A and B are shown apart, each in its own frame.
Chain A
Amino acid sequence: MILSVDELKFLYRNTNILDDIAFSISEGEIVAILGPNGVGKTTLLKCLNRILVPKEGVVTVGGDPIGSLELMEVARRIGYVPQRVETGRLTGFDAVLLGRRPHIGWDITEKDLRIVDAAFKKFMIDHLRLHSIDEMSGGELQLIAIARAFVQEPKILLLDEPTSALDLKNQVEILDRIRNIVTEHQIAVVMTMHDLNTALRYADRFIFLKDQSIHTYGDKSVITADEIEAVYGVPVMIGELWGVPCVIPECLCNGNGKTKREDNQEHSSMREGSAYVRYT
Chain B
Amino acid sequence: MHFADGELPQDYLGYTYRKVLLILGGVVALFFLLIISISVGAVSIPPYEVFMTLIGQNVTDKWDRIIWNIRLPQALTAIAAGAGLSVAGVAMQSILRNPLASPFTLGISNAGAFGAAVAVIIFGTGRMTSTTAGAVVINNPYLTTIVAFAFCMLATIAILGIAKIKASSPEVVVLAGVALSSLFTAGVMFLQYFADDTQLAAVVHWTFGDVGRAGWSEFSLMAVITIAACIYFIANRWNYNAMDAGDETARGLGVNVERLRNAGMVVAALVTSVLVSFLGVIGFVGLVCPHMVRRVIGDEQRYLIPGSIVMGALLLLASDTVARLIVAPYVLPVAILTAFMGAPIFIYLLLRGYHR
Contact = CB atoms under 8 A, between A and B. Distances in A.
A90 B252 contact: no
B3 A145 contact: no
Contacts of A80: 248-249, 251-252
Interface magnitude class on chain B = 20 to 34
Interface in B46-82: none
Given A90-B300, A99-B253, A116 B6 contact: yes
Given A101-B255, A151-B3, A93 B9 contact: yes
B298 A129 contact: no
A138 interface: no
Given A89-B294, A89-B299, A129-B9, A102 B253 contact: yes
Contacts of B249: 80-82, 85-86, 145, 148
A49 interface: yes
Given A75-B252, A79-B252, A153-B2, A85 B8 contact: no
Given A80-B248, A82-B249, A75 B254 contact: yes
A149 B254 CA distance: 12
Interface string B1-35: 11111111101110100000000000000000000
Contacts of B180: none
B253 to A, nearest CB: 4
A178 B42 CA distance: 70
A208 interface: no
A71 B249 CA distance: 13
Interface string A90-107: 110111001101101010
Nearest to B259: A71
B238 interface: yes
Interface stretch (A1-9, A118-126, A196-204, A225-233): A118-126
A80 B245 CA distance: 12
A73 B8 CA distance: 26
Interface string A43-84: 000100101000000000000000000111111101111101
Given A118-B5, A151-B3, A153-B2, A85 B252 contact: no
Given A122-B3, A129-B9, A72 B299 contact: no
A113 interface: yes
B9 to A, nearest CB: 5
Contacts of B294: 89
A88 B244 contact: yes
A71 B251 CA distance: 8
A81 B245 CA distance: 11
Contact of B6 (A94, A101, A121): A121
Contact of B12 (A89, A91, A101, A149): A91
B246 A82 contact: yes
Nearest to A102: B254
12 contacts: A51-B248, A81-B249, A82-B248, A90-B299, A110-B8, A113-B6, A114-B7, A114-B8, A115-B6, A118-B6, A129-B12, A130-B11
Interface of A: 46, 49, 51, 70-76, 78-82, 84-86, 88-91, 93-95, 98-99, 101-102, 104, 106, 110, 113-119, 121-122, 129-130, 132, 145, 148-153, 158, 181, 185
